[in-house]
Structure 1
């Protein structure tokens, strides 16, 4: 073969693959990471002032795999002259902006990243026994072709909208693009937020703080029965563990689907601090005798949504779930905080026949996060909630998954993989004390 063959090529550069890149760098592996953007930027349109992560700072890119890594958040603070300011602040939680700045700092110090490389197709060379990665790079969009033995796909997720919001030529606004559209949104006389969870709360609070300055009404509507707090008690947090992954992975598919539907409060809730700030701001305005031009409404399921281009507004229909009554609502501005869904990039089509799929068209991941028929060649980041549970999208489990993937890529356990950390048992213990009937 005339061309070089990489040990692996990773496609996409969000926090999960960036973590993998940081952990791979000191190992001097023959692998590279391709990203179509010109630089790292994590959800730039949700970098709202003072919005925080849900994970403590120790859940950085490397520390839970290698606390001594030069890519740790603490080393970033030291190099940037911020260590004492974080010490004095006495807070475990970073703002989104701080986390993004840290990730950008790490990306600038890596030699294995290739920005402005847009992958357009994947194929497999049977004769050479390797994968062929083709696309365009740079401002001139110059074609490139690369070869590798293994792949890591980390293309991230895409915004999810309710089924009734078929685009049909109109682009609905998702919280993923909030800041880029904030100025235009605040020129509207009315704004409605649909959805629940942390992103909805952050956007609501941001708009609520400036409601008097721009003189709009603000509505927050959610299908959830309440505005609930994310569960963060210690025994609950143990569900984000290797122990729970092992338990969840062995369950049958219907049971997994049922469990995931019941776990919203573990990863879709709002942190207590933000809920309290929203309440305090509303209460303060009420005490001052001002008119509250806002409503927070639960138990309402969106059933229809239409954009009227002539009137430049949205016609929205909801069902109040407790009583089954339908309501119509009109709003000039509309923001969907309805989460994200798995993203299977079109370039995967060229190797689809080499991969495992479930009956819903999703990646069927093996326990080692591989999705290929051989179970050792194509690894997937952040697309396995249905196989590995809610730990799939949690930043705190990134180092664990990447330690696992690096072992599968190289055959060597470079970073110790924790196997038993929980104090509780998720499955019935296999001891004489418990007898199956």
Structure 2
């Protein structure tokens, strides 16, 4: 039996990564693609679109520009279509508001006919007889109920299911019984008014999200009666590495260098590079200090405690109105107890596991010494030779491609790399060099990696379009 009209590419998940791939693929003649997402529409971190919060990357790091500046889905064309080019020009903004980036992505998503929202992917299988992937899905109704089931077929897949809020083990007892307000920062705006009603609020975690939440709460509490605690495991409320040469860790050059390193060395590097992506923007730190200073006008210190170097050992509830956090201070070697009435867990995100989605492909997946999937330089999962289709991953490859994997500045380049690899043609010419820094003793060009890099998976069938 021949499957009707198989797609060249099916994307699973519609976040910025797969939205970028869809936008770049849309302009390619002869490429048949479809994208599935279980949510009803595109939204980018809606719980953190705090007033005044900006992206940590320049506006050029949109969905397409760094691969194709002439693409109709560029941020500048978005401004033009909304008659906002001159206001943007005079505002002299290099970093856009988060809410504007969300609105831009939603504008793109509404114009791409290949996107299918309210579709939950149930299973993915390789069909060796047809040399196709079978993708089973359930179409969801307005309230999330199952309406119908269906199946798509594709020569290749692109998995972009993103990340999920992470709750550390010590804080899970609080999150599992939400009587007192205990929320992850991802849901902050939905619960802000409830949090502000609490007599005392504690923010746990000092990445950018934690800093933005703390600043927003501080601005909304009266001077002298703030009653805010901010604690973090890191040894300081550290600034993001934002020097121009430091930012070259988010270039294709560094990605190629990192990919060519041995697995153990890559793991060591990621652990050490937290200040490249988990610290706090300088302007946010300055705004926090300015706000604390404003609260001190007239004498007296604000009722605020900021303590780095502290981890939560255990946590529990005290009746129905309070939470108890048991804290360890690493440098002092001391323990203490903190009673609070609300907690915001700014404890970051983790990549959603691929294993449940790709369970049927598990026997043919190559894994590294730590049991993680192996991803080649062109963002393909390395599969056994018998699978001639490719499975590309987006923002699930930090262990193979480095700290730039989730960075918006590399989204367009990764999408272009995938499309070039999938078609076997240079649909999007990519730069041979992108950094002044030479990482390692041997430079690697856009067409080849240095010693030790994993090559393309065997038996990949390109799309002749």
Q: Under TM normalisation by the shorter chain, which class is it?
A: over 0.9
Change (3 A) 1:177 1:361: farther
Query: Offset of 1:306 from its aligned partner?
Result: 1.9
SS at match of 2:241: coil
Q: Partner residue of 1:313?
A: 322
Distance in 2, matches of 1:285 and 1:120, equals: 53
Q: Partner residue of 2:450?
A: none
What are the residue-to-residue correspondences of 1:9-408 with 2, within 5 Å?
9-28=10-29, 29-139=31-141, 140-167=146-173, 169-170=176-177, 173-212=183-222, 217-289=227-299, 292-308=302-318, 310-345=319-354, 346-374=356-384, 377-408=390-421
SS at match of 1:284: helix
In the TM superposition, what whole-angstrom CA distance separates every residue of 1:333-361 from its partner, at most 9, and x where no partner exists?
11111111111252221222232233434
Alignment: residue pair count: 429
Query: Offset of 1:131 from its aligned partner?
Result: 0.9
Contact map agreement 1:117 1:137 (CA 8 A) in 2: yes
Farther-moved stretch of structure 1 (115-124 vs 341-350): 341-350
Change (3 A) 1:286 1:169: closer
Query: Offset of 1:213 from its aligned partner?
Result: 9.0
Farther-moved stretch of structure 1 (207-216 vs 157-166): 207-216
TM-score (norm 2): 0.89
Contact map agreement 1:230 1:272 (CA 8 A) in 2: yes
SS at match of 2:7: strand
Query: Offset of 1:290 from its aligned partner?
Result: 5.4
Q: Please, which of 401, 410, 418 is the counterpart of residue 423 of structure 2?
A: 410
Query: Offset of 1:34 from its aligned partner?
Result: 0.6
SS at match of 1:166: helix
1:422 aligns with 2:428: no
Query: Offset of 1:429 from its aligned partner?
Result: 4.0
Distance in 1, matches of 2:3 and 2:88, equals: 51
Change (3 A) 1:86 1:105: same
Contact map agreement 1:31 1:112 (CA 8 A) in 2: yes
SS at match of 2:429: coil
Distance in 2, matches of 1:357 and 1:191, equals: 43
1:4 aligns with 2:10: no
SS at match of 1:56: coil
Q: Which 5+ residue runs of structure 1 have no aligned equivalent?
A: 431-437
Distance in 2, matches of 1:299 and 1:217, equals: 20
Contact map agreement 1:195 1:336 (CA 8 A) in 2: yes
Contact map agreement 1:363 1:383 (CA 8 A) in 2: no
Farther-moved stretch of structure 1 (270-279 vs 373-382): 373-382
Farther-moved stretch of structure 1 (14-23 vs 231-240): 231-240
Query: Offset of 1:289 from its aligned partner?
Result: 2.8
Query: Offset of 1:156 from its aligned partner?
Result: 0.4
Q: Partner residue of 2:446?
A: none
Query: Offset of 1:53 from its aligned partner?
Result: 0.4
Query: Offset of 1:70 from its aligned partner?
Result: 0.8
TM-score (norm 1): 0.94
Farther-moved stretch of structure 1 (332-341 vs 369-378): 369-378
Distance in 2, matches of 1:211 and 1:264, equals: 31
In the TM superposition, what whole-angstrom CA distance separates every residue of 1:75-112 from its partner, at most 9, and x where no partner exists?
11011011111111111001110000000111111121
Contact map agreement 1:125 1:132 (CA 8 A) in 2: yes
SS at match of 2:237: coil
Contact map agreement 2:66 2:413 (CA 8 A) in 1: yes
Q: State the Cα RMSD in Å.
A: 1.8
Distance in 1, matches of 2:224 and 2:106, equals: 34
SS at match of 1:141: strand
Distance in 2, matches of 1:425 and 1:261, equals: 22
Farther-moved stretch of structure 1 (349-358 vs 388-397): 349-358
Distance in 1, matches of 2:37 and 2:153, equals: 16
Distance in 1, matches of 2:220 and 2:120, equals: 39
Query: Offset of 1:11 from its aligned partner?
Result: 0.4
Q: Which 5+ residue runs of structure 2 have no aligned equivalent?
A: 444-465
SS at match of 1:94: coil
Farther-moved stretch of structure 1 (416-425 vs 189-198): 416-425
